[in-house]
Structure 1
């Protein structure tokens, strides 16, 4: 059967049923799923139907306005708060410029819930999907086929999956977190610090931060200590003080007066505890936080590496919208550079004289 004949049968069936599924068309037309998806893509481009997850729904040429006013984009993220709130706002602002709208799904960093949220968003009939998976790049071997099963265009945010973990290449927009780590270490080195203690929150970002720390430390001739202490996410955690004290003891043992902490919440609580123990910030202990969501609100405003969260959401959304409007650009892998916002917490310069009894009980 020739393509024009299949297209006519698909449109005729769509007029009867209002919605089609790929599996049903495979059985009806006697062709492969790949052929059916290609036919649906061609008809979608012609404005004769709209592709959705698993099939297609009816539309009219007039419904696909050049301003994108009828276009709906899905966005699935691990959280709608803190870091990702700015990512969502950036995507929403860009969608508004194109006259499109967003449909949000939140996974809570749960892999199974993420699968459900993706399915729910796709059922709405979105034309494309922005997604930051619950799994980070360091856990790509656990990804399975969830991305490759999505049959609308996908742009990844803060993820950079590639062969052999996915079957095809995806557009992605991510923060160069390795560069962010370099910014922090370079600032410490400029202040005269040669030993830096580091505590990384157990998040997907840590995968890239470790890479950046390793290369930056070698380039800057700075010694680093990566702490195994798991700082509490919440300051009211019953074990918070013990963990904070353990990390401060590590800083003392390493003879470090400079600390890089991921994230802002940890950095702010660490500063409070250091001051409770008689340390001056930044004179006795210089602190840089990573994320810059609430860093400026700390008791001592925190110098912080600031990923371009808002710009990341906007860039990813624009990349997807341009693709949906027929932009012939090749697959793009974009890295955005973070900034360093310098505040009060990082003014200390290491003394030439030996340090005496800075850490007191």
Structure 2
């Protein structure tokens, strides 16, 4: 199986951790990739604050504790007695780049070392990657499983409750009453984010907005359920069924069908507003709609969900922004607190489910005054 970019990034980070610093040309040789690929990977990781880059070399960030020459066993303390925190994330790009950055910053402030594994949204590999973190000395775990479908928590989640170290779930909400529901967790309240968007569009004089959304991630599922709840709270009826969205680069025909369905809803007067998850899709939708004669915001008021690149669109997109960096920060602080309790330096405390509220960033695409 061909190695994904996320897996290659994971190996690159491991190499730099082990050495403290390395030349990009040496990393290319060790990774078995071209120098161009290695430079591109290094630039990507440096932009996200996961590496420092200077004059053809890279080093572990200055505010993080470098790895020891030999990895300690499970439960061992990091250099200088600092805590070692393991983090499993489904991706090191896009949404989770900010979550990782927040966790890294909080770990550095606490004098802890954060080590990372990426699952590339393959939940069947989550357990093995977490075992790798434990073998590398992780005393506590931040876990964002690579779930993509509604059945994934049941199929690929039981192992999390058996981890031998304190564990905090990130951006994942298991079924109420399930064993995973008893774990500490820190999440964005996506239902609140959707309600902000729907209420804003209705406040501008629109009827219930259409929803165009993916169905391939926990965030997408939460946005869909949040949409139903928002309409119920505001006593609105959906103008038509949710339009299923797919990535344009992976399924161009499916993407075109989704855009045409939205175009038809606008031109027929069914809807004058829409919420689109996510903002990469939203930018491509706006571009294609313009080619089909539908203008944003003149013909369609639009809000995107995620706010990763929404502000960079030709017509800057109003967007719901989950507090991604704060999720990583609060989850890490909670894990450090749990580890302090386990070391006997703090009293026991109840488990916590912490929900952080997204915000609505108003730009041009909804037709509202900027503010």
Match status 1:346 vs 2:360: no
Q: 1:151 aligns with which of 139, 154, 164?
A: 164
Q: Is contact 2:188–2:356 with CA below 8 Å preserved after alignment?
A: yes
The match for 1:210 is 224
Match status 1:310 vs 2:325: yes
Secondary structure of 1:344's partner? coil
> Structure 1 residues 261, 221: closer, same or farther in 2, change over 3 A?
same
Q: 2:211 aligns with which of 198, 205, 208?
A: 198
Match status 1:300 vs 2:310: no
Q: 2:127 aligns with which of 115, 118, 137?
A: 115
What is the CA–CA distance in structure 1 between the aligned matches of 2:250 and 2:127, rounded to whole Å?
32
The match for 2:85 is 73
> Structure 1 residues 126, 259: closer, same or farther in 2, change over 3 A?
same
What is the CA–CA distance in structure 1 between the aligned matches of 2:76 and 2:310, rounded to whole Å?
49
TM-score normalised by structure 1 residue count: 0.74
What is the CA–CA distance in structure 2 between the aligned matches of 1:347 and 1:214, rounded to whole Å?
24
Secondary structure of 1:346's partner? coil
> Structure 1 residues 99, 187: closer, same or farther in 2, change over 3 A?
same
> Structure 1 residues 56, 268: closer, same or farther in 2, change over 3 A?
closer
What is the CA–CA distance in structure 2 between the aligned matches of 1:254 and 1:122, rounded to whole Å?
56
- Cα drift, residue 268 of structure 1: 0.5
The match for 1:98 is 110
Aligned 1:29-108 pairs, distance under 5 A: 70-108=82-120
Aligned 1:173-252 pairs, distance under 5 A: 173-202=186-215, 203-225=217-239, 227=241, 229-234=243-248, 238-239=252-253, 240-252=255-267
What is the CA–CA distance in structure 2 between the aligned matches of 1:57 and 1:254, rounded to whole Å?
62
Tell me, which stretches of 5 or more residues in structure 1 are unaligned? Answer: 1-54, 350-361
Cα shift readout 1:72-93 (whole Å, capped 9, x = no counterpart)? 1001011110000000000000
> Structure 1 residues 345, 236: closer, same or farther in 2, change over 3 A?
farther
Question: How many residue pairs are counted as aligned between the two chains?
Answer: 289
Q: Is contact 1:194–1:221 with CA below 8 Å preserved after alignment?
A: no
> Structure 1 residues 114, 294: closer, same or farther in 2, change over 3 A?
same
Between structure 1 and structure 2, the one with the greater Rg is 1
What is the CA–CA distance in structure 2 between the aligned matches of 1:319 and 1:101, rounded to whole Å?
15
- Cα drift, residue 70 of structure 1: 2.3
Secondary structure of 1:345's partner? coil
What's the C-alpha RMSD, in Å, of the aligned pairs? 2.5
The match for 1:281 is 296
What is the CA–CA distance in structure 2 between the aligned matches of 1:286 and 1:112, rounded to whole Å?
40
Q: Is contact 2:174–2:180 with CA below 8 Å preserved after alignment?
A: no
